[in-house]
A and B are shown apart, each in its own frame.
Chain A
């Protein structure tokens, strides 16, 4: 089950600025094999033993990872937190929506490939299934926002 929250909240349990959070916290942590593979998959970057990254642009520090990749790593390393995914492109969203037991924040329906059997819970209430359920929920949400003049 993926939990999606659509109303922004300032809380220590939420990560809204992924670059900042990653640079100050996550980047100092050890990377698992799975996380190293995600870095390779998303940024086509190789993590060196001394925590530098090699990309087609050259050698950099782990702070030079893309915002999408940092978001993904924040989700993987802090599954208890609600992580903002509004800066993620379709390539990262596809990976996120294949995960389970995560919490994300999005204020609008970003395009994403979603597995047909994925259970999604919106705002701790409505549970839908797959991409069709996701799109249907957002259609109703936009009708609600229009009615409420939001």
Chain B
């Protein structure tokens, strides 16, 4: 509903042997930051397959290879939008869309939160422990 914070997926869990992913989201906008080489792009590539399943068909993916980024995003309603390389892709228009298109949920691989309506629950890092990958709060 417009104006309300909507969660498309509270949790995304799947196995990709020998790894298991268990990602929990606490805000409509999740920013995944932290160190380089923690597996963000690997996760993005996993989601490219996962979105082809019925359960996760609301996932929409964008990265530096995406054409007409803003226009393509504007087509998204009730989607779980994932953006890799967001630090070089985001501009004011995209930030505004994310802030005001409440029907979508967002996971952005992004360090610069300027201009986004985020909360302290938005900031996450990927944690890899014994082949289990989770999202933890960024300290």
Q: Does B64 contact A (CB under 8 A)?
A: yes
Residue of A nearest to B36 (CB): A68
**A68 surroundings in chain B (CB, below 8 A):** 35-37
Encode A41-70 as 1/0 by CB contact (under 8 A) with B.
011100000000000110000001011110
Chain B interface residue bracket vs A: 10 to 19
Residue of A nearest to B65 (CB): A20
Q: Does B66 contact A (CB under 8 A)?
A: no
**A90 surroundings in chain B (CB, below 8 A):** 34-35
**A87 surroundings in chain B (CB, below 8 A):** 36, 85, 87-88, 111
In residues 28-58 of chain B, which contact A (Cβ within 8 Å)? Answer: 33-42
**A64 surroundings in chain B (CB, below 8 A):** 41
Q: Does B72 contact A (CB under 8 A)?
A: no
Inter-subunit contact A66/B111 (CB<8 Å):
no
Inter-subunit contact A16/B88 (CB<8 Å):
yes
**A86 surroundings in chain B (CB, below 8 A):** 87-88, 111-112
16 A-B pairs (CB sep. < 8 Å): A16-B88, A42-B37, A57-B39, A57-B42, A66-B40, A67-B41, A67-B85, A68-B36, A69-B36, A69-B37, A86-B88, A86-B112, A91-B35, A91-B37, A92-B36, A108-B112
On A, residues with C-beta under 8 Å from B are 16-17, 19-20, 42-44, 56-57, 64, 66-69, 71, 84, 86-92, 108, 110
Residue of B nearest to A107 (CB): B112
**B85 surroundings in chain A (CB, below 8 A):** 19, 67, 87
Inter-subunit contact B112/A89 (CB<8 Å):
no
Residue of A nearest to B16 (CB): A57
CB B24 to nearest CB in A, in angstroms, measures 22
Inter-subunit contact A108/B36 (CB<8 Å):
no
Q: Does B71 contact A (CB under 8 A)?
A: no
**B19 surroundings in chain A (CB, below 8 A):** 57
In the bound complex, CA of A91 to CA of B40 (Å): 15
Inter-subunit contact A42/B112 (CB<8 Å):
no
In the bound complex, CA of A56 to CA of B87 (Å): 26
**A91 surroundings in chain B (CB, below 8 A):** 35-37
Q: Does B120 contact A (CB under 8 A)?
A: no
**B4 surroundings in chain A (CB, below 8 A):** none
**B64 surroundings in chain A (CB, below 8 A):** 17, 19-20
Residue of B nearest to A87 (CB): B87
- Provided the pairs A17-B64, A110-B111 are in contact, do residues A89 and B36 lie with their beta carbons within 8 angstroms? yes
